[in-house]
Structure 1
Amino acid sequence: MPATTLPSNVQLVDADRNAVLTNFPERGAEPPSWSSSAAKQSAYHICLATKDDSAVQPFVVYQPEFIDILGSSPVLRVVAEEKKFPFAHEAGIWIPKTREVFFTSNQFYPEDGARKKISISKISVPKSPDGEYKWEVVSPTPDILTGNGGVNYGEGALFCSQGQGNIPGGLIYMDIKPPYATKILLNHFHGRPFNAPNDVVVLPLDGSVWFTDPNYGVLQGLRAKEKLPNQVYAYDPKNGSLRAVADGFSRPNGIAFSHDYKVCYITDTDAYDGVGGIIDHALATIYAYDVVKSAGSTKPDRPYVLVNRRVFAFTDCGAPDGIKIDLEGNVYSGCLDGVQVWNSDGILIGKILVPGGVANFCFTDPGVLLLLNEHRIYEARIRAVGSLVRE
């Protein structure tokens, strides 16, 4: 598509000019003002979405293939806002039958100030493109302590609980109807408490549950010390087995399987120090693994394992948090400047700029994403379809 025919909210990065910077502004410095030109050619796209106001051109094309992902008329709009606390941070669990998305807040101190709290909310997704979203806080019974990532699971939702104090973290199942009854699915590794389970996904090939466990619980004062390395686990609810499946991370965070379940992507957010700071030289990396049946197993029903670890991508802004895949195999991750998108070769092909960044997000209806932006939820309408939408 020629630059002159691009929608007015799409900007095109000129490859030649972007390869050479004439100056290097300090990280976090005031970015250039937003352009209204549909064919913006900028050599500086570092942390563009740091302004308080919305971008005029939030869709950034680094490679022409991103134009096909966006479609002919991409839209980005705010659909929910809450100024009192950071209500929209993690999870993003799409429940198609009820047309609702469940999500978790960031940590905050409630009015009583007793201890840090994370709330769980849900938002209804309208069927029409211009429909109204409605959200509300829900009250799980019993409560899910410091919830984080989540995934749809069976007839309900499965949340990571980071735990707090002497209450261990783990995986907690929640009904999606009032009174939102909960049940602990898992809360220890063979007697040792987890650090702070962060994100979780299900491998449909065998129904196993895979989740990350970084040490943010210690860094953020939820518990006194670590009892396990920062690693990734797989739990098989059919036989109750629990395995460590990947290690060597500084802070494993987001996790997702490819659209064909042949690849597992895991993010490392070492660049986020856990207390609001950014470490420029730390890992901000997405790793890829092949998902295969265990070659060393002597059992007829061999479990799936991860092999051939390699760097898939490194983010230019902040670190990759939540991660999702579309049906074409493209990889999306929430970053400090919004959502960044790579093709299956790990080449950055585009961005959806969101002021203040995105921790996590989810695909809902085909061509619709909900982006969790702490005090706001954005809806992005593009052409791509999320791989979990088909489940």
Structure 2
Amino acid sequence: MAAVTKSVIPLQQCKVELIDLRGCARRSSPRPLKSHDQNDISVTVYHGDMAAIVGTPSFCLLLSSHEASNNPFFHEACAYRADRDELYMTSSLLKPARTSDGPIVLISKVKLTRNDTRAIVSVEWQKLRPPQNMPMPAGGAAYHNGVLFCSQGTLADGTGGLYYMPYGQPPEPVVTNFFGRDFNSPHSVVVARDGSMWFTDPPQGFERAFRANPVLPCHVYRYVPETGDLRVMADDLGRPHGIALSPDESTVYVTNTTAVRADGSQDLRLAATTYAFDIIKRFGSPFLTNRRIFAFSMTGVPMGIICDTRGNVYAGCADGVEIFSPGGEILGVIEVPGGVTSLFFGRSDELFLCAEQRLWLVRIGVKDDHDLLS
């Protein structure tokens, strides 16, 4: 598909509002979202530590399909390759050209061009069809000389798993089954410093009719490519979605999106929760213990999740990006129209946000490349 080049509009300052949480707790009605327009991002500060995170925040809209096709091209993955200054994202389910065909997912590659001050001045956007052996990609992570993708699979047996796509080469299967049993719909992956891959496996593919009936529970897995060690790390999660590691890799965060129904609607009586687990070692092997509720989303359901090197946790939710301290205290919200499904840090003070039909850049307060995980 042909690439589209777009000049980046100048950054605009975010409106910042300080809110006393004590007043929120006394309200008889839920906290309302700000009624800003569809091209405006604002910041709500609930805690003094939020100021150090956002500084003087600014934003710009990098890409949008809202005015043209209205297709949700910016849904998952949001994998940033610093060496090539590129972003890789996957779409939500798209309608096929022929009604007889099933839904499809496209990969977006966004090349960033910068000036001498490292500010982004233009983007080149190219939509790619996933290779046939890596159907329905979802989450991803920068890995070696390319991107590690979660493939949700199809109705065919033996599809789905983790695939490594090096630059300019076909994807290579990394792990595609649990000892002969197909995964459900691998969705989000994070790579630890020791090379192990942690990933979630919810039932979305079956619920949306492009995957066979699951033969496994909805697990969190860890896979070590060097040894082939594949193990279940956590279970009893209705719909595990996003996953992140704390900066010291002693804690795993998993978002549970049980509140999302198969048709995309939500039952907010069900879990919209981020859980934290401690990683402990026994006989040289890692185990997850002390499962606890880290945070329940203020608005909607937590989707993508990341940590910065200070241990703060950023969750993409219906109101934008909810930011929590390592202790689970709400610090503030970067409010984004339409919410955020996936997010990742770029260079210096950059935070990229996937919001279905829009790709945003938010510049926050941290000025050191090494202060953010990328």
TM-score, structure 2 as length reference: 0.89
Q: Which residue of 2 aligns with 1:30?
A: none
Counterparts of residues 154-193 of structure 1 (less than 5 Å): 154-167=144-157, 168-176=159-167, 178=168, 180-193=169-182
Distance 1:278 1:141, change over 3 A: closer
Counterparts of residues 98-113 of structure 1 (less than 5 Å): 98-113=84-99
Structure 2's unaligned 5+ residue stretches are 1-12
Q: Is the 8 A contact 1:161 1:171 kept in 2?
A: yes
Structure having the higher strand fraction is 2
Q: Which residue of 2 aligns with 1:38?
A: none
Q: Which residue of 2 aligns with 1:266?
A: 254
Distance 1:112 1:52, change over 3 A: farther
SS in structure 1 at match of 2:298: coil
Q: Give the Cα–Cα distance (whole angstroms) in 2 for the partners of residues 189 and 386 of structure 1.
A: 38
Correspondent of 2:49 among 65, 75, 99? 65
Q: Give the Cα–Cα distance (whole angstroms) in 2 for the partners of residues 54 and 307 of structure 1.
A: 42
Distance 1:194 1:75, change over 3 A: same
SS in structure 2 at match of 1:18: helix
Letter in 2 for 1:14: D
Q: Which residue of 1 aligns with 2:359?
A: 377
- Does 2:112 align with 1:121? no
Counterparts of residues 127-166 of structure 1 (less than 5 Å): 127=114, 128-129=118-119, 131-142=121-132, 144-166=134-156
Structure 1's unaligned 5+ residue stretches are 1-6, 25-43
SS in structure 2 at match of 1:126: strand
Letter in 1 for 2:137: G
Counterparts of residues 169-318 of structure 1 (less than 5 Å): 169-176=160-167, 178=168, 180-204=169-193, 206-293=194-281, 295=282, 297=283, 302-318=284-300
Letter in 2 for 1:222: F
Distance 1:270 1:376, change over 3 A: same
Distance 1:368 1:359, change over 3 A: same
Q: Which residue of 2 aligns with 1:96?
A: 82
Q: Once the two structures are superposed, what CA deviation does each residue of 1:193-214 show, in whole Å capped at 9, x if it has no partner? A: 111001001111x211110001
Correspondent of 1:9 among 15, 23, 26? 15
Deviation at 1:129, TM superposition (A): 2.8
Deviation at 1:110, TM superposition (A): 2.2
SS in structure 1 at match of 2:113: coil
* Number of residues of Structure 1 aligned to a counterpart in Structure 2: 353
Q: Is the 8 A contact 2:90 2:137 kept in 1?
A: yes
- Does 2:306 align with 1:335? no
Q: Percent identity?
A: 35
Q: Give the Cα–Cα distance (whole angstroms) in 1 for the partners of residues 171 and 89 of structure 2.
A: 15
Distance 1:192 1:386, change over 3 A: farther
TM-score, structure 1 as length reference: 0.86
Q: Which residue of 1 aligns with 2:7?
A: none
Q: Once the two structures are superposed, what CA deviation does each residue of 1:352-390 show, in whole Å capped at 9, x if it has no partner? A: 111111110110102101100111100000023787955
Letter in 2 for 1:267: T
Distance 1:158 1:388, change over 3 A: farther
Q: Is the 8 A contact 2:102 2:210 kept in 1?
A: no
Q: Give the Cα–Cα distance (whole angstroms) in 2 for the partners of residues 311 and 14 of structure 1.
A: 24
Q: Once the two structures are superposed, what CA deviation does each residue of 1:235-256 show, in whole Å capped at 9, x if it has no partner? A: 1111112100111101111111
Q: Give the Cα–Cα distance (whole angstroms) in 2 for the partners of residues 215 and 143 of structure 1.
A: 20
